[in-house]
Amino acid sequence: MRIVLDLQGCQSVSRLRGIGRYSMALAKAIVRNARGHEAWIVLNDLFPDTVESIRHAFSDLMPVERIAVFSLPPLNLYRGVDDWRTRAAEMIREHAIAELEPDLVHVSSLFEGYVDNSVTSIKALYPEVLTAVTLYDLIPYLNPDKYLVDGGFKQHYMGKIAGLKRADVLLGISAYCGEEAASELRIPREKITNISSAVSDAFRPIEFSESERAAVLRKFNIRRPFVMTTGIVEPRKNLDGLIVAYSRLPAELRKRYQLFMVCQATESNSAKLYELAKSNGLSRDDLVLAGYVSDKDLIALYNLCHLFVFPSLHEGFGLPALEAMACGAAVIGSGTTSIPEVIQRKDALFDPLNLPEMTTMMKRALDERAFWDLLRSNAIERASEFSWDATGKRALEAFEKAHAAHGSAVAEKRADEAQSHYGQLLDALGNINLPVTEADFLSSAHAIAANQRVGRVPQLFVDVSVLCEHDAKSGIQRVTRSILLHLLKSPPAGWQVRPVRLDRSAKEYRYANAFWRTLHTGDAPVDEADEWLDTQQGDIFLGLDLVADWVPLVEQWFVRQRRRGVKIHFVVYDLLPVMHPDWFPEVIALCFPPWLKTLSHVSDGLIGISRAVADDLRVWLDTNPADRQRELKLGYFHLGADIDSSQPSKGIPADAPETLRKLRSKPTVLMVGTVEPRKGHVQAIAAFEKLWSDGLDVNLVIVGKAGWGLDEFAKKLEQHPEMNRHLFWLQGASDEFLAQIYQASTVLLTASNGEGFGLPLIEAAQKGLPIITRELPVFREVAGEYAYYFDGASAEALADAVQAWLAANAAGQVPSSAGMPWLTWAESADRIKAVLLGENWSHVVPGRDFHM
């Protein structure tokens, strides 16, 4: 079966309460025990801040691709059932889930959505879809005078009751809960399964040091041993009754203990509770109220309390009592509804409306050590009988039973109706006989389009934002163009490759259709215009072009896409502007840190152009940890080196024959790369000036444009006395001319102090040209044993290395570059595909710990 779990109960405010904890734990238990079934999770995009935490919570249990986010039109709070957009949203949600072709849909929390953006329904659009619901209680239904006084909420709640009756499977969280549904709602008992409940393994006895204990108590202003309870401030939780019963304890007991309530009370509710305590003779210090308490603190408080009292009048299960027992607390509680199923001991149960009886039992638990010891031993033993895995298995058995009875009929219908679902949705929306606006139609249309899955081919978006505006024919643009061309010619099986560009004015991405047509490769785009991206879960964004100055400004676009389930990956060419900002213009040095920070926050994976870059990323992330919950994957690939396949530049200058003759006339050392601080030209010129002064007849030829930061040095080069005698600076050499320069040279020198890859090494090796290179990790990675290495930053160190190499070359003892391995651009593109789609990552940076 394909089981789809609607986990909106973990997105709404319920995530902070018992329903959220129950929904999360049950979903995990179902996924853990799926026994060959395929579990999916669906989430509501109107709760954007919860998506990442839920994905993180399931990261070790299921593929992230099976956690889908459906889109809905924005909703108004306190909306009634007579609101067109609300009715439409229910149908849009059902349609979005139907696009997943489920065998069964489970709704973790049905009754929400009146005061938040939850949207749930049962068979509002597709009655053939098997649907299961968790039922926690029927308290509002059974107590309408207390809970259904608001007319709008009453309509909302009773609509959910009607939906509950249409469900195929009802999962009761206790036997009492299921019996209430059968007797009060006339739901057939064969549809009801008692799956019970349990608590997280985190709820367990913990030994605290004296300092740890003191820190917890100080945090909550607890000064004495304490009697504890938890529950929101509402009549059925009976907090008033507990305060009164506690006030009737003997004075000497009250002096020894405090009453501590975790109740998330509002300011007005707190005032009322303190006033009640005061009117019953309690001092302000006798009662302590706490608002929201994290699970970590709650577990500590359960462990440290002397007695836990659960005085509730009506519970679907009574999870707080079980949580406290699992932590080893002595627990007493109401003998009503489902609570006896949890506590089980009759001598630990009281009538919650009989306050003297509650007082007597508290006094006995506080006064009689033997009774208190019995309660504590019972707690651990009884709590061990509850298991989330057992609860999950019961739920799965109920799903299997329902599917066995109806599954074949559903499967037959699915094949016939998959293509008609869209039409059904449109017809149903058209038949909603309620006032509607153009804005309602437009927002609904956007949501429907965003949810479309059937028949859709996943897309690999390749960022060409800089390339499509200006192709420099070299550097990063050469990489972007080469990889893109091969991805378009040979897309991953089952994928569509789409070039995309950043619309800087809107801070959104568009398809780069106009640019694609200029490439004359791959399938021509259908759309004429550069339309906005149509993204869906499972798509991949590859930040191949370097848009470092703009990516931080559009961070929220990437956050939204990742939330939708689009995987975000960036290629990182190097970290040099961060590691050595003095090597770069200020504008580059300033934009790289925020660019890297954004990448570490929004990406699923970062791909270096060498293992050395990936290692640098790892070090940077260790010292600049990302604020993220999910892991960040690191990988790398190597650049291609077949220039002919990357649209090489053409052109031979008129004086080329004479220049090449001079280079061939004596030993010639070639440097290829832009003349800028990090490339080592200053050291090289100083070294060769020393060699020339010593009488060595050797050429130095520099191929590369004048870059940033060396204006004075560039003037020195242009006016150098050895210019065009022993020194040659060729600033505008095309790829065609460079190939001839390689052939005329004796050895390649790469003196750069830092690189992301080292393409000149490979270009030299392709032509059989030996290599002298600086000892850098990336150069070792690229050239291995096929190069001669030097170290040191002085002119003397490099001059000695060149002289030693020339001597070794004359003796035939220098390393040959002829066997150096290298990739074609097609192979380079394949390596990227292997990382992106084959999960061929080299390292995983774990996310920060997050307890859900």
b/e code 319-355 from CB counts within 10 Å (16+ = b): bbbbbbbbbbbbbbbbbbbbbbbbbeeeebbbebeeb
CA distances from 104 to 30, 216, 402, 708 (A): 13, 44, 9, 63
CA distance linking residue 307 with residue 329, whole number of Å: 6
**Ramachandran region, residue 32 (left: φ > 0; alpha: ψ -120 to 50; beta: rest):** alpha
* Domain's final residue, options 347, 364, 385: 385
- According to DSSP, residue 779 is labeled H
Query: Given its phi and psi angles, is residue 533 left (phi above 0), alpha (psi -120 to 50 degrees) or beta?
Result: beta
Query: What is the reported pLDDT for 264?
Result: 86
Structure tokens at 740: 């001839």
- Cα–Cα–Cα angle for 461, 466, 467, rounded to 5 degrees: 80
Is residue 199 scored above 60 in pLDDT?
yes
Confidence of residue 847 (pLDDT cuts 50, 70, 90): confident
Express each pLDDT in 543-558 by its tens digit. Answer: 999 999 999 999 999 9
CATH code for position 53: 3.40.50.2000
Q: What is the C-alpha separation between 132 and 322, in angstroms, rounded?
A: 25
Whether 146 is in a domain gets the answer yes
Give domain status of residue 298, yes or no. yes
User: Both 381 and 395 in a single domain?
Assistant: no
pLDDT digits (tens, 9 = 90+) for 708-762: 888 899 999 999 999 999 999 999 889 899 989 999 999 999 999 999 999 889 9
What is the domain range of residue 334?
Answer: 210-385
Judge if 493 and 381 occupy the same domain. no
Same domain membership, residue 797 and residue 702: yes
The dihedral of CA 472, 474, 476, 478: what is its sign?
positive
pLDDT at 217: 96
Work out the percent of the chain whose per-residue pLDDT is above 90.
Answer: 83
- In total, how many domains does the chain have? 4
Same domain, 345 and 398: no
Instruction: Assign 417 a pLDDT band (cuts: 50, 70, 90).
Output: low
- Nearest-angstrom CA–CA distance, 238 and 215: 30
Residue 700: inside a domain: yes
pLDDT tops 50 at residue 849:
yes
State the average pLDDT over residues 105-124.
95
Tens of pLDDT, residue by residue over 244-269, are: 999 999 999 999 999 999 998 899 99
Which among 404, 419, 450 is the end of a domain?
450
DSSP for 714-759, please give it: HHHHHT-TTBTTTEEEETT--HHHHHHHHHH-SEEEE--S--SS-H
When pLDDT is cut at 50, 70 and 90, the band that residue 219 belongs to is very high
CA distances, 255 to each of 148, 244, 564, 718 (Å): 41, 16, 56, 92
Q: What is the pLDDT of residue 521?
A: 82
**415 band by pLDDT with thresholds 50, 70 and 90:** very low
- Mean pLDDT over 289-300 rounds to 92
Query: Are 293 and 370 in the same domain?
Result: yes
Residue 225 dihedral angles phi and psi, to the nearest 5°: -50, 145
For 773, half-sphere exposure in the C-beta direction (CA atoms, 13 angstrom radius) is 30
Residues 749, 769: contact at Cβ < 8 Å? no
Average pLDDT over residues 615-641: 93
Q: What pLDDT is attached to residue 646?
A: 56
481-to-464, 472, 640, 825 alpha-carbon distances in Å: 8, 10, 11, 10
Q: Select from 385, 409, 436 the last residue of a domain.
A: 385
pLDDT for res 709: 86
Residues 76 and 171 in one domain: yes
Q: What does the alpha-carbon distance between residue 103 and residue 647 come to, in Å, rounded to a whole number? A: 52
* Same domain, residue pair 224 and 338: yes
Q: Which of 144-153, 160-169, 417-426, 571-580 has the lowest mean pLDDT?
A: 417-426
525 within a domain of the structure (yes/no): yes
Please, which pLDDT band fits residue 852 given cuts at 50, 70 and 90? very low
Mean pLDDT of the chain: 93
Q: What is the pLDDT of residues 642-684, one digit of tens each?
A: 866 656 778 898 999 999 999 999 999 999 989 999 999 999 9
203 found inside a domain: no
Q: What is the pLDDT of residues 19-46, one digit of tens each?
A: 998 999 999 999 999 989 999 999 999 9
pLDDT for the residue 629: 84
Site of tokens 């006995």: 364
Identify the pLDDT of residue 851.
Answer: 47
* 848 domain-assigned: no
Give domain status of residue 844, yes or no. no
Under the banding of pLDDT at 50, 70 and 90, the label for residue 850 is very low
Alpha-carbon separation of residue 630 from 56, 60, 539, 584, 849 (angstroms): 5, 10, 18, 33, 9
Per DSSP bridges, beta strands 843-845 and 632-636 are antiparallel
Q: What value does the mean pLDDT take over residues 466-471?
A: 90
Tokens for 284, please give them.
């302000």
The rounded percent of the chain whose pLDDT value lies above 70 is 97
| 605 band by pLDDT with thresholds 50, 70 and 90 | very high
Same-domain status, 10 and 117: yes
Separation between Cα atoms, residue 426 and residue 414, nearest integer Å = 18
| 130 and 17 inside one domain | yes
Q: Is the same domain home to 148 and 250?
A: no
137 neighbors 314 (Cβ within 8 angstroms):
yes
d(CA 227, CA 218): 16
Q: Is the same domain home to 614 and 686? A: no
Check whether residue 378 and residue 415 sit in a common domain.
no
Is residue 766, in this structure, part of any structural domain at all? yes
As a whole number, mean pLDDT of residues 805-811 equals 96
Q: Assess contact for 132 and 168: CB atoms under 8 A.
A: yes
